[in-house]
């Protein structure tokens, strides 16, 4: 990404994944045998949907109404957590790209689209959809912001979902390869978050802001390290990841603690941030 030119500069993540994958297979015979076995056993074409796990199959036979209610109650908190992640990703991508997507097209439209996608996914037995935060890191590295590229990538993803061999290739990816690319992408997301704090000119001499930041960082890292928080409700349990807990606590504390030093849309502080006016983007 730094020294490359042309296509090499645009697709550093893909080249890194492929290069690391090939290198891992060369130096580790066990990984090579595992990948070869998994890919050889998988078919070339197949449906990504298991009919017996869909809502249509459940409603076509005698079913337990209590199970349906329990399933809905279980998935609702997960959907709430993905909504929080969606808002954070929209802010991060807006800051990375330099366009205020929170205002245009607006969170009400992006959340509606995310909700419809989750609804459709649930009909086919899939969990609540989550936005790909890794894309923020990809955008920051590649500098390719054209929405048509994302649509084309989505089309490729749909096509490849019908190829079990490709799925087996991804599942069998060495841990070092996945860890390496995750380290870069999530690190870029963290850097974008720090950039937002700087551009918003957050005053860390105020105890309020320090306390909120401390709780967010402590919960996000601490809960993730010790495992998800499990909340038992009757016969079911609800699990919240460190990021979900930190986001919810941060939003709550920001809303209830006195001493806010900004007002969205009216305060000139942090003009270049996604959360405020569009003058900075117009200047670009």
| Residue pLDDT, tens place only, 89-118 | 787 788 778 788 888 888 888 888 888 888
Q: For residue 210, report the phi and psi dihedrals to the nearest 5 degrees.
A: -65, -40
Query: What distances in angstroms separate CA 74 from CA 252, 258, 263, one per listed residue?
Result: 22, 34, 35
Residue 223's pLDDT is 66
Residue 277's pLDDT is 42
Q: What are the residue ranges spanned by the domains of the chain?
A: 7-203+261-283
Residue 73's pLDDT is 66
Q: How far apart are CA 39 and CA 168, in angstroms?
A: 5
Residue 25's pLDDT is 84
Residue 278's pLDDT is 43
Residue 79's pLDDT is 73
| CA-based radius of gyration for the chain | 22
Residue 275's pLDDT is 45
Residue 153's pLDDT is 84
DSSP string spanning the chain?
Answer: --S--THHHH-HHHHHHHHHHHHHHHH-HHHHHHHHHHHHHS-SS--S--GGGSHHHHHTS---HHHHHHHHHHHHHHHHHHHHHHHHHHHHHHHHHTS-TIIIIIHHHHHHHHHHHHHHHHHTT-------THHHHHHHHH----HHHHHHHHHHHHHHTT-HHHHHHHHT--HHHHHHHHHHHHHHHHHHHHHHHHHTT--TTSHHHHHHHHHHHHHHHHHHHH--EEEEETTEEEEE-HHHHHHHHHHHHHHHSS-----TTT--TTTTSTTS-SHHHHH-
Residue 89's pLDDT is 78
Gap between the terminal Cα atoms of the chain:
23
Tens of pLDDT along the chain (284 residues) come to 667 676 666 677 788 888 888 888 888 877 777 788 888 888 888 888 777 767 777 766 766 666 666 667 666 766 776 777 788 778 778 877 878 888 888 888 888 888 888 888 878 877 777 777 667 777 777 777 888 888 888 898 888 888 888 888 888 888 888 888 888 777 777 776 777 777 667 788 888 888 988 988 888 777 666 665 666 666 556 666 677 778 788 878 888 888 766 554 444 444 434 443 444 444 44
Residue 262's pLDDT is 56
Residue 273's pLDDT is 43
Q: How far apart are CA 118 and CA 126, in angstroms?
A: 8
């Amino acid at each position: 990404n730094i020294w490359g030119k042309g296509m090499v500069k645009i697709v550093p993540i893909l080249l890194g994944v492929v290069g690391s994958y090939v290198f891992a297979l060369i130096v580790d015979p066990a990984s090579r045998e595992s990948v070869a076995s998994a890919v050889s056993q998988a078919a070339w074409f197949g449906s990504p949907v298991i009919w017996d796990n869909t809502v249509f199959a459940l409603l076509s036979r005698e079913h337990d109404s209590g199970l349906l209610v329990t399933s809905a109650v279980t998935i609702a908190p997960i959907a709430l957590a993905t909504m929080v992640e969606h808002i954070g990703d929209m802010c991060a991508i807006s800051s990375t790209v330099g366009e205020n997507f929170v205002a245009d097209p607006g969170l009400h439209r992006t959340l509606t689209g995310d909700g419809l996608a989750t609804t459709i996914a649930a009909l086919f037995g899939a969990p609540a959809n989550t936005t790909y935060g890794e894309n923020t890191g990809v955008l920051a590295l590649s500098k390719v912001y054209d929405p048509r590229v994302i649509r084309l990538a989505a089309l490729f993803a749909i096509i490849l979902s019908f190829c079990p061999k490709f799925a087996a290739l991804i599942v069998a990816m060495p841990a070092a390869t996945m860890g390496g690319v995750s380290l870069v992408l999530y690190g870029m997301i963290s850097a974008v978050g720090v950039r937002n704090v700087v551009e918003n000119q957050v005053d860390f001499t105020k105890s309020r802001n320090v306390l909120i930041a401390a709780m967010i960082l402590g919960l996000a890292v601490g809960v993730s390290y010790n495992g998800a928080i499990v909340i038992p409700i009757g016969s079911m349990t609800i699990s919240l990841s460190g990021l979900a807990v930190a986001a919810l606590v941060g939003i709550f504390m920001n809303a209830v603690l006195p001493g806010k030093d900004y007002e969205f849309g009216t305060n000139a502080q942090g003009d270049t941030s996604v959360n405020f006016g569009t003058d900075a983007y117009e200047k670009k």
